[in-house]
Every structure is written in structure tokens, then in C-alpha cells.
Amino acid sequence: MKKLIRIPEDVELPLIGCIAFGLIDRGTNLIQVRPISGCNLNCIYCSVDEGPNSKTRISSFIVNPDYLIEWFKALAAFKQNENIEAHIDGAGEPTLHPKFKEIVAKLAEIKNVKVISLQTNGTLLKEKWIDELAEIGLSRINLSINALNEENAKKISGAENYNIKNIIKLAEAIAQSSISLLLAPVWIPTLNDEEIPKLIEFALKLKPKSKWPLMGIQKYEVHPHGRKVPGVKPLTWKKFYEKLYEWEKKFNLKLKLKPSDFEIIKTKMLPLKFRKNEVVNLKIVSNGWMKNQAIGVKDGRAITVIGVPESFREKVKVKIIHNKHNIYIGKIIP
């Protein structure tokens, strides 16, 4: 069973530096907000092997809403941009956070936050919440829906209790509200080839009013620590875009998307605290997200430490092997 780590109740952790929780700044006016890790589904393509049946994740992280907003305000102010998008996503399902709606409301109160979007599988959202979420400030829901066929949908979700009929009703309720809807299926070759056109037709049939695209088709990829769909080889980007172009022509709907379709622009990015190959001394404060990992802290950043033995010291020396977008990974030096 996973260990639940409350931030900062159980441990004082910076909210920048670890991909599993907190904030991610990729140098644009969109800030990723990750209030919780973990998932209620076991999607067969999951890039991070999350969910109840995970074989690699040993910890789940949950962030206090006030602490999250405190860090968000500081990052949004640093951006010096009046059109910030707070994109609530997660290494899993963000609506698992028991105070999810409170987080949306608090983000909406921040002056330069103009868009609040949510990436969700929809299984924990209730239809009766939609109008409330619209009222407190949610702008768009990116709904992960990979098939309309019941059997196929269950297979892809990895959960027998996955109810596609409920998700369809939820999509219809969102489309009828003031919240914009974007369907975000993962196209898994040979598995849901025939489902993607049906999902496009479904999106068009809903006729949602949106200034953003209606579909965001994602390419199935194999990730080092994620799940691999047996017998499925990822498409090349060339073939993927060729098929998108074909569907665009057939349905007269834009499918090849770019940042400008969401009004995402480049902005100031937080400067890096540590260089690659730099050796730093860390204070270990928490278990890691995976086995043989821990999380250390230095200079206001969380650093994932790999290669950690079962018995490790509070203070360790690590070599920084990853620092892109202020997401830090350090390898322990014996």
C-alpha cells in the first residue's frame, strides 16, 4: 500500500522541483498545477504507471491548498504576465484531491489568472458540480476519453467499474455549460483506431461553444517508467500527423494543434538553481515517488534522488543528472 505524504503537514517540501506534485514552469504563461499524485484508474498506456495496480509507485503526495496557492502566487507574479493559465493536471487524477473545488476557487481569485483548465478522466466529477465549477471560475475541462465502445473503454482504463455512459453524460453536461470542453483521447494504434473518428463525431455533435479546439488527440508513447501496451508499437510523428490531416479534411475540424491555439505564449522562466553534473549536498526529508528514491531539499527546490539504498542518511551528496524546467533529479554518490 502506498504511503500518503501530506505537504506541508507531514513534511516541508518546496513545490518546485518534483514532477509528482506542486508547480511546473515550462517558460510560458501556462503554469501546471499538481495538487495530488495518484489515480483511481489503471490506464493501460499510463506514462507514469499510476493507479491502484501500480507496480512502481510507493508514495502519493497531497498538497495543502493554501500552501499551493502561496507558491502559485509567487510564480505567477514572477512571470509578469497578465494572462496566466492555471492548468490543473497531475501525475494521475487531480480531482482525487478532497479540496479540489477550493483550489479552483482560490486560483480564480488571483488577479492575473485569466484561464483555469483541468485535465481529468471525469470519473470523480459529478454532473451537479458543473454549474458550480463554472461559477467559481473553471474555464475548460480537457476530458480524457479514449473510446465510446463500453468494452474498449473498460479495457483501456484498466478498470472494470469504468462507466463510459456516465462519462458521456458528463461530457454533454459540460458542453451545455459555460465551461469549454476539449476531448483528449490517446490514440493507441490497433486498439482504438476506429474509436477516434467516433469521438470526433461525438465532439461535433455536442456542439460545445468554445474559443479553444474541441479535440486534442494525443499520440501513444512508451515511457521508461510507464506502462507499455502489449503488441502495440507507437506511430512515428510523421504517420501520426498524416492521419490527423486526413481526419481534419474529413471532419472539417482542426486537429493538429499548437500552443497559439490556446493563447499560450513564451514568458520568463524561473532560473535554474542547479547545473547538470553539479554535485550538491542535500538534506533528505521524504520518501520518493518510486522504489529506491527519496526527495531532498536545497535552496528552495525539491530534488528527486535516485539510487537510494534502503537505509540512507539524512544528508547525502548527489550529482544532478536532470534539471530541465526546474525539475531536478540527482543520483546519489556513495
Q: Which three cell numbers mark 307? A: 539510487
| Fold that domain 279-332 belongs to in CATH | OB fold (Dihydrolipoamide Acetyltransferase, E2P) (2.40.50)
Lowest-confidence region among 100-104, 205-209, 268-272, 299-303: 205-209
pLDDT, position 209 = 73
Distance CA 97, CA 220 (A): 27
Spatial separation of the C-alpha atoms in residues 245 and 256, rounded to whole Å: 7
Where does the pLDDT of residue 210 fall: very low under 50, low under 70, confident under 90, or very high at 90 and above?
A: confident
Residue indicated by cell numbers 510564480: 75
pLDDT for position 312? 66
Each residue of 16-61: pLDDT tens digit? 999 999 999 999 999 999 999 999 999 999 999 999 999 999 999 9
Q: Is the pLDDT of residue 208 over 90?
A: no
**pLDDT one-digit tens code per residue, 226-249:** 999 999 999 999 999 999 999 999
Nearest in space to 192 (alpha carbons), one of 53, 43, 38: 43
**What DSSP assignment string belongs to 285-317?**
EEE-SBTTEEEEEETTEEEEEES--SS--SEEE
Could you tell me where the DSSP H helices lie in the chain?
65-79, 100-108, 130-136, 150-157, 164-175, 195-206, 237-251
Statement: residue 172 has pLDDT above 90: yes
Q: How many CB atoms lie within 10 A of CB 5?
A: 23
Distance set, CA 313 to CA 13, 23, 34, 284 (Å)? 18, 28, 29, 8
Burial of 334 (0-12, 13-18, 19+ CB in 10 A): exposed
pLDDT higher than 90, residue 309: no
Mean pLDDT score, 307-328: 89
- Protein fold of 3-262: TIM Barrel (3.20.20)
Lowest mean pLDDT among 132-141, 204-213, 323-332: 204-213
The residues pairing with 61 across neighbouring beta strands, listed in sequence order, are 5
Residue 311 corresponds to which cell in the numbers above? 537505509
Distance CA 121, CA 263 (A): 24
Nearest to 200 by CA among 261, 242, 241, 145: 145
Confidence of residue 334 (pLDDT cuts 50, 70, 90): confident
> For the chain, which residues make up each domain, given as ranges?
3-262, 279-332
Furthest-apart CA atoms within the chain: distance in Å: 60
Quote the radius of gyration of the chain (alpha carbons, Å). 20
